[in-house]
Amino acid sequence: MSENMRTVALDENDWDEEPPPYSATTEKDPEAERKTGFNKAYLFSVEGALKLIEIVLSLIGFVAVLAGGWTGSGFVGWTTISAFITTTIMFIIVAMNIYSRLPGFWPLYELIYLILYTLKYFICSIIAAVGAARLPSIVAACVICVVAFGIYLLDTIMAYKRFKVAKEEQERRRNEGEGGANRRSETHFCIIF
């Protein structure tokens, strides 16, 4: 044998006392929670189904607005197409788990987005209802805007509940001392260690 190699005799009783220093742990890996990839469970969840319904309603609403050119169709058309694009982007961000890599507090962003589109669809419902006596396409746009308003309102209520839970979890982590890099002190100054 070479001089650098040593033979160590291990007794089986040595391992019963204390685990070796290289043993596996069961701690959560924060990087494992941040992995991106398609989440099939989100697709079949209530939240994912609502997003898909919102996408389809927004697209159909936009087509109905294009079919009948009437006063007020500009705002309704802009709202429906912007809701289609924004909701599609939000769906992809959540379904691909990209939001876990984005900075900031994601539940707040989602809640603000849903509140804005709920209000926009409420206004669109009123605008389309005023012009509904003229053309069948306006009646279709009005019905779609009312249904979309209801779906966005339901999604907003659910997002508010998720926001409250996430906020409580964030407060709990802050109080327990997790995430110490940007922890706030009692005087609310940011302390970076």
The kind and range of the H/E element at 106 are helix 106-130
Residue 71: pLDDT band (50, 70, 90) is low
Q: How does pLDDT run across 8-30, given as a tens digit for each residue?
A: 555 555 545 554 444 444 444 44
- The whole-angstrom separation of Cα 139 and Cα 39 is 37
Look up the pTM and report it. 0.70
- The whole-angstrom separation of Cα 36 and Cα 98 is 6
User: In this structure, what token pair is assigned to residue 84?
Assistant: 């289609």
Q: How does pLDDT run across 153-168, given as a tens digit for each residue?
A: 999 999 999 999 989 9
- The whole-angstrom separation of Cα 105 and Cα 167 is 9
Domain ranges of the chain: 36-171
